Amino acid sequence: MSQTGKNILFMLHLPPPVHGSTIVGELVKEREILHKSFHGRYINLMLSSKVDESGKTNLKKLFRVVIIWFNLLGKLLHRKPDLCYYALTTTGSGFYKDVLFIALIYLFRVKIVYHIHNKGVIDAQKKKINHLFYKFVFKDAFVILLSQHLYYDVEAYVPHNRLYYCPNGIKDYQPTAALLTLSEDRPFTILFLSNLIEEKGVFVLVEACSILRDKGCEFRCNYVGGEGDVSEKQFNAFIEKKGLTEQVKYLGKRYGRLKEISFEQSDLFVLPSRYDCFPLVVLEAMQHGLPVITAYEGGMPDMVDEGSSGFLLSRYDDAEELAGRIELLISDPELRNQMGRNGRVKYEKNFTLAVFEERLLCILQEVIDYNK
């Protein structure tokens, strides 16, 4: 059925700051195939402009909530949408903010589909007030998850007949010949590219580097990203305490070409995170032909094939296991090159932007057509 003329209200997280949810929000907003298929209107749900502001409440944010609420009310009154696509925050103050907006959407009897990029419901629901809110928010709603491995988190509230899966996708990047011509005498280079958030394994990788150094391995480990709950000062103090100032470097934020160079001049990507659901940066590493070491968390098993395109740590905070996996790839160039090729093939098959937008388009069309 053609959906030409159907009106969708997209409530998204848009940058700044730059992180997975805002990048996906921007990609959704820019998709020409969605513009051709639907009449879209957009509301930015972001209250923070910096990563370290997330989860904190202040007057500026409260004022922003009021502005968004009235913006939403105006759009609902002016033209009732056929569907609301909503990037739901499932825990914390962000969730309570979303409840306010969702209540207004339900008041106008608008069909809603949540695209969830985070997790934590299974723990937060233990509080009675949260449980009641989840029952309200998910009642009669449709849900898009990034991976089947994340269904356990919302299983108590979302039936299978209202559930869809849409893994993230990213724009393709083809490295230039200049970037691929690397110095043969450079050390084995590990890349951590994400904001400095402790639950992303920031310190776990440093501990693994300490183990590798004590074993006599030669390597360099570059950290690229903004400050989060770990500051640059705290991070550098930890490196100095471990005696790793020669091996481990914090390079700060890098965007555009500098970011691509960071990937192309690395041999291995590491993100031992328990924080993420389906991190775009892992897809970027696969896109650049790097083997990936990450944790068996969230949707990671759908991204990284154990032993084929990288390794999945049994525990995100196991520095010994992480060091052992890195040491294996340092000593076996053929294995790491094959893993990198396998990751690139999987990216091309499953995680391109074209695949993502086609999946999302089909889901939105199906939800609009859905009748009880």
CATH code for the domain of 284: 3.40.50.2000
pLDDT at residue 184, rounded to an integer: 60
Averaged pLDDT of the chain: 94
Number of neighbouring beta carbons within 10 Å of residue 71 = 14
Please, are residues 155 and 148 in contact by the beta-carbon 8 Å criterion?
no
Q: Tell me: pLDDT of 13 over 60.
A: yes
Q: Which of 19-28, 30-39, 55-64, 139-148 has the lowest mean pLDDT?
A: 55-64
pLDDT tens per residue across span 43-85: 999 998 776 666 677 899 999 999 999 999 999 999 999 999 9
pLDDT tens per residue across span 314-337: 999 999 999 999 999 999 999 999
Q: Which of 7-21, 171-185, 192-206, 271-285 has the lowest mean pLDDT?
A: 171-185
- Identify whether 2 is part of a domain: no
143 with 232, same domain? no
pTM of the predicted structure, to 2 decimals: 0.92
- Identify whether 135 is part of a domain: yes
Residues in the chain, overall count: 372
Residue partners of 202: CB distance under 8 A and separation at least 6: 192, 196, 223, 230, 235
Cα first-last separation, the chain: 18
pLDDT at residue 58, rounded to an integer: 85
Q: Which of 4-18, 155-169, 217-231 has the lowest mean pLDDT?
A: 4-18
111 with 201, same domain? no
Q: How much of the chain, in percent, has pLDDT values that exceed 70? A: 95
pLDDT tens per residue across span 226-281: 999 999 999 999 999 999 999 999 999 999 999 999 999 999 999 999 989 999 99
pLDDT at residue 106, rounded to an integer: 98
- Identify whether 344 is part of a domain: yes
212 with 316, same domain? yes
Instruction: Using the Cα atoms of residue 110, residue 113, residue 119 and residue 124 in order, give the sign of their dihedral.
Output: positive
- Identify whether 346 is part of a domain: yes
| Segments forming the whole domain that contains residue 284 | 177-350
pLDDT at residue 319, rounded to an integer: 99
pLDDT at residue 182, rounded to an integer: 52
Phi first, then psi: give them for residue 154, nearest 5 degrees. Answer: -120, 10
The arithmetic mean of pLDDT across residues 91-119, rounded, is: 98
pLDDT at residue 1, rounded to an integer: 42
345 with 361, same domain? no
